[in-house]
Structure 1
């Protein structure tokens, strides 16, 4: 099994996703789009992981590589590759499929709850009824045609979605560990003015270990689901 990730800024790497994949014997490679790396051959990828970033999917004028990235994601989806989108990555999947990405009702930054969709059939991935996860976004998106809504939050309905059996988009960050949290609060300190659904750096860094453990366990279950042998 070969996984490849698309990275948009230096401080938003794979986090614990990389450890989880390597522990499963998965080969991991990546493209640092911010550094000008070339996109790989699609035939060399079994799982595509599209990471987050502070830019918008609509910033193609400033970041021309976004257009090429969306085309690559669209090709991966057409080729029935396994795809996981994280935050900006989920928005890029939606945009690649022709859906709008636009400012949400409120920014969500910090450890806030999501609620799993309790009306799913057995084939879809099931989130817990409620779990605190790391949010760091100001935009949201329209669901792609045929997508199943997996989870929502108080101010953002489209928190997680699934397309078919092998594509999942997350508006939040299950990959967080202590090192990644430090990187986030350092790189985006200007956004951390507590108000509404935005927490302070101190609140974000003070997350209990059992919350980190719970999100890590959820990520493990999600990767098991995506990597499961399919007919």
Structure 2
């Protein structure tokens, strides 16, 4: 039986990445909804799985980017219906906000490959394969953990790195989906942000080569486990 996945994409190079071939292998039919096509609540409720991807804007930037309000409302409708949702970076922040949690800028950035510390709950969750594995961080905003959610991971500068609600909602501040072999697209697409944060793209590029293959393997195990819980 063919199942449908809808991915909300905010910038072209932040796509499903490593997750897409896993979905295809499992028989999912994938489609993207770019921000030029505002998502409706009906469209968000329709697919078997909704993935909300990252982007360089803030949840609170609704005055400058009005689509964010409709997107959050559509995500809230899906969450209320108890349908599976995966949120990545901005996507996780939108999920948190849709659940009533605060999302705000921190005045600092976390960009590049670095380890997570899993909570006790995280070590018993689908994120267990990430224990000791550097992941790709690319954020400056922080979400609060929604009421009723379980906090799964942290870093020294960002104590809320992941949360879950049951088996069907997973929010990740970091980028498990990013394909390290495509890191150049990220470095060019976010060149201004890298320069502003004083991050050397050569360091990120080198770290992608060193840590990317191991992270890709761990990410596949995480995604497979999460999908297993939603089928």
| TM-score between the two structures when normalised by the length of structure 1 | 0.89
Distance change (3 Å), C-alpha of 1:193 and 1:125: same
Partner residue of 1:131 out of 130, 133, 139: 133
- State the shift of 1:191 in Å: 2.2
- State the shift of 1:131 in Å: 1.7
Match of 1:58 in 2: 60
- State the shift of 1:164 in Å: 1.3
- State the shift of 1:230 in Å: 5.4
1:94-118 CA distance string (max 9 Å, x none): 1111111112263101111111113
Match of 1:228 in 2: 228
The 2-side partners of 1:216 and 1:129 are apart by 13
Match of 2:178 in 1: 176
- State the shift of 1:79 in Å: 1.2
The 1-side partners of 2:91 and 2:148 are apart by 18
Unmatched segments (≥5 aa) in structure 2: none
The 2-side partners of 1:136 and 1:101 are apart by 16
Partner residue of 2:117 out of 115, 118, 130: 115
The 2-side partners of 1:106 and 1:217 are apart by 29
Unmatched segments (≥5 aa) in structure 1: none
- State the shift of 1:166 in Å: 1.0
8 Å CA contact 2:91–2:171 kept in 1: the answer is yes
- State the shift of 1:16 in Å: 1.6
Match of 1:212 in 2: 212
- State the shift of 1:19 in Å: 1.8
The 2-side partners of 1:91 and 1:43 are apart by 19
Comparing 185-194 and 138-147, the one that deviates more = 185-194
Comparing 48-57 and 61-70, the one that deviates more = 61-70
Counterparts in 2 of 1:67-216, with a 5 A limit? Answer: 67-104=69-106, 106-119=108-121, 122=124, 124-127=125-128, 128-193=130-195, 199-207=199-207, 209=209, 211-216=211-216
8 Å CA contact 1:117–1:129 kept in 2: the answer is no
The 2-side partners of 1:175 and 1:139 are apart by 19
Comparing 213-222 and 66-75, the one that deviates more = 213-222
- C-alpha RMSD of matched pairs (Å): 2.2
The 1-side partners of 2:137 and 2:91 are apart by 13
The 2-side partners of 1:38 and 1:146 are apart by 26
